[in-house]
Structure 1
């Protein structure tokens, strides 16, 4: 499993603002947890299930942050995934902990934010 390639594809897709390519990095039944889910959708557990919910979340994120950019700070790897630390355009640092499935798609993602984020 090429973890570096997966992280690079994800970052490149966001840089192009290619939502289809971003979502190609995720499994169909992805389990995604982030504090932005709590704020945007009022879900106390911060959890989204599946690509359809994730697409709506990312579409709203692009609307809320039209100048969205990610600058990688570190990639830490494990046998089945990685943690990507990056800085957003607004200075907020984010750590995405990604577990890949057997096909190399993000099956579980937990996003941790240094500060509040819409």
Structure 2
């Protein structure tokens, strides 16, 4: 799948909207069943040194826990960047921390992703 800027912007805006409405199933609808997602928050929340979850059910468990711990979760979209089959969504979270989310697509759904966080000064 070749990604253009219009698709990336629409996707990012919808992605932020469903996150901000705390619609976990709406967020997960964008991901494949065999998705692999990496984040330093996985290490923190689950104590898993790999920093990865594999599969939509594991991703659901991770994000459900995050939503439980972050009642004020809110993302503010800053920009979106495009590669061949990947987009990078740059946003600020509820604490004003800069975050980048890299999402690789297969057949219109995210099959691999990662979260990268700025230093919490």
Structure 1 length normalisation: TM-score?
0.91
Count of matched residue pairs? 115
Q: List 4+ stretches of structure 1 deviating above 3 A.
A: none
Matches within 5 A, 1:1-118: 1=3, 2-102=7-107, 104-115=108-119
Unaligned 5+ runs, structure 1:
none
Q: Matches of 1:52 and 1:76 in 2, distance apart? A: 28
CA contact (8 A) 2:32 2:110 kept: yes
Q: Matches of 2:94 and 2:119 in 1, distance apart? A: 13
Unaligned 5+ runs, structure 2:
none
Per the TM alignment, residue 3 of structure 1 is displaced from its structure 2 partner at its CA by 2.3
CA contact (8 A) 1:100 1:107 kept: yes
Aligned residues: CA RMSD: 1.2
Structure 2 length normalisation: TM-score?
0.89
